[in-house]
Amino acid sequence: MDPVKTAPFDLGRGPDACLLLHGFTGSPWDLRPLGESLATRGMRVVAPRLPGHGTTPEALLNVTHQDWRDAADSALASLRGHRRVFVGGLSVGALLALGLAARHPGVVEALALVAPAVRFRGPRMAVIRQLARTPLLAWAKPWADKSGSDICDPVAREAAPHLPAFPVARLRDVCALQDGVGPDAARVRCPVLVAVAEQDHVVDPEGGRWLARRLTGAPEVRLISFREGFHIIPRDTSGPRLSDEVGTFLDAWRDAGLSPWPEEAAPDAPPP
């Protein structure tokens, strides 16, 4: 992967900020159109590159889901001082975003969960998920090939940076994040937008609907379903509509309260 193309980004200026988290084997490139759209609405938009991502398959060998969580916590802490902070995530990034809202109630003002990787699509992935919980799969097949990004639009698909392979052991970390979805959802107290793609080949859109039903503590839950496009919604045919929906949703909460971030609510960055 081209490290320049997959680099983190920090766009826009304004009193409010939005943190965007990419998915497993992805990079900030996947979220750039959404980030640019939100920046034009007068927000600062930050998208870090998660540990092990965006360079080589080997970079994923020595990271875990805890490293990804710590990176998300650090990114959120870096936005301290903004009037209101929102968080969005794509796929596994949506699970990390959900965890941030659960761990930092009163800090994350609203969530946008795009194609959340609550469960994989198809019986084959269900079997792989079970095998991934043991060392057996990683021992028998240490690397999984990856042919490309799940994008319908041919131009975007051709331009998409992607890892040619990833360590199968990292699927255990994805499973660990999936296992936390139910408990995390029950602790969320902010408004949530959930967006799913019906033709997603990676995650089951029913998982997104399942998640939406379990956000019982959220003051508002908005579920959007896209009939066109595949998993990487921000870069696909429904990307402009997604950007508009997310921007409109967050704008509705930007002026809901004007108090600055309370000192006692601000998250601390994890220790080095």
**Segment 53-64, tens digit of pLDDT:** 999 999 999 999
Q: Which domains does the chain have, with CATH numbers?
A: 9-265 (3.40.50.1820)
Q: The pTM is what?
A: 0.91
- 261 and 82 Cβ atoms separated by less than 8 Å: yes
pLDDT of the residue at 86: 98
Three-state DSSP state, 198:
coil
At 71-123, the pLDDT tens digits run 999 999 999 999 999 999 999 999 999 999 999 998 999 999 999 999 998 66
- For every residue of 75-130, DSSP letters joined together read HHHTTTTSSEEEEEEETHHHHHHHHHHHHSTTTEEEEEEES--SSBSSHHHHHHHH
pLDDT of the residue at 268: 42
- For every residue of 45-89, DSSP letters joined together read EEEPPPTT-SS-GGGGTT--HHHHHHHHHHHHHTTTTSSEEEEEE
